[in-house]
Structure 1
Amino acid sequence: MAEQPLVSIIIPTYNRAHLIGETLDSVLAQTYTNWECIVVDDGSTDATDELMAKYCAKDSRIRYYHRPDEHLPGGNGARNYGFKMSKGEYIQWFDSDDLMHVESLEIKVRNIIRSKVDVIISKTTTSINKLGTQYSNLRKEFDIVEKNDFYIDFIKSRNNILIGDPIIVRSKTIDVIFDEKLIRGQDHDYLIRLFSQSLKIGRIRNYLYYYRKSENSITRQAANLKFKFANTQILLNKKMLSKYSEIDEVAFEYHRKNRKLYRSYIEKNRPYFVFLHYNFFRKSFNLSIVEFSIYLFLNMIFKKGFDRMKYKI
Structure 2
Amino acid sequence: MTEQPLVSILIPAYNREKIIAETLNSLIAQSFKNWECILVDDGSTDNTLHIVEEYVKKDERFKCFKRPDNRKPGGCGARNYAFEKSQGQYIKWLDSDDLLEPFLLEKEVETFQQFPDVDFVYCDHTAFSKDNDKAAETIINIPENSSGIDLLNISSVDRKYLIPGTYSHKREIIPYSGLWNEEIRINQDGEFLFRLLAANPKVKRIPYFGFRYRLEGTDKITSNYNDLNKASLKLKSWELIDAQIKLRRSEDLKPYITNTKNFLYKYHLHLRQYSIILDFRHFFKDQIKNEERKRIKFQLLKTYFKTFFS
Check whether TM > 0.5. yes
Query: Is 1:206 aligned with 2:208?
Result: yes
In 1: Cα distance, 2:199 partner to 2:26 partner: 31
Aligned ranges for residues 36-185 of structure 1 at < 5 Å? 36-116=36-116, 117-127=118-128, 145-148=144-147, 149-153=149-153, 156-158=156-158, 159-175=160-176, 176-185=178-187
Letter in 1 for 2:299: Y
Contact 1:154 1:160 in 2 (8 A): no
**Corresponding residue of 2:245:** 244
In 1: Cα distance, 2:40 partner to 2:143 partner: 33
In 1: Cα distance, 2:72 partner to 2:171 partner: 23
In 2: Cα distance, 1:33 partner to 1:250 partner: 37
Letter in 2 for 1:55: Y
- Do the aligned partners of residues 287 and 200 (structure 1) sit closer, same or farther apart at CA in structure 2, a change above 3 Å counting? closer
Contact 2:5 2:89 in 1 (8 A): yes
Unaligned runs of 5+ in 1: 131-141, 301-313
Letter in 1 for 2:19: L
Moved more, 6-15 or 142-151: 142-151
Contact 1:265 1:273 in 2 (8 A): no
In 2: Cα distance, 1:69 partner to 1:157 partner: 40
TM-score (norm 2): 0.81
2:299 corresponds, among 292, 295, 299, to: 295
2:190 corresponds, among 177, 188, 209, to: 188
2:227 corresponds, among 221, 225, 232, to: 225
TM-score (norm 1): 0.80
- Do the aligned partners of residues 61 and 226 (structure 1) sit closer, same or farther apart at CA in structure 2, a change above 3 Å counting? farther
- Do the aligned partners of residues 280 and 172 (structure 1) sit closer, same or farther apart at CA in structure 2, a change above 3 Å counting? closer
Cα shift readout 1:257-297 (whole Å, capped 9, x = no counterpart): 3322431442xxx5553454355446531169xx8763326
1:256 corresponds, among 238, 254, 262, to: 262
Cα shift readout 1:87-139 (whole Å, capped 9, x = no counterpart): 11111111101111111111111121111121111101114867xxxxxxxxx
Contact 1:120 1:166 in 2 (8 A): yes
Letter in 2 for 1:237: W
Unaligned runs of 5+ in 2: 135-140, 305-310
In 2: Cα distance, 1:293 partner to 1:186 partner: 32
Alpha-carbon RMSD: 2.9
**Corresponding residue of 2:18:** 18
- Do the aligned partners of residues 45 and 82 (structure 1) sit closer, same or farther apart at CA in structure 2, a change above 3 Å counting? same
**Corresponding residue of 1:273:** 276
Letter in 1 for 2:259: E
Contact 2:125 2:213 in 1 (8 A): yes
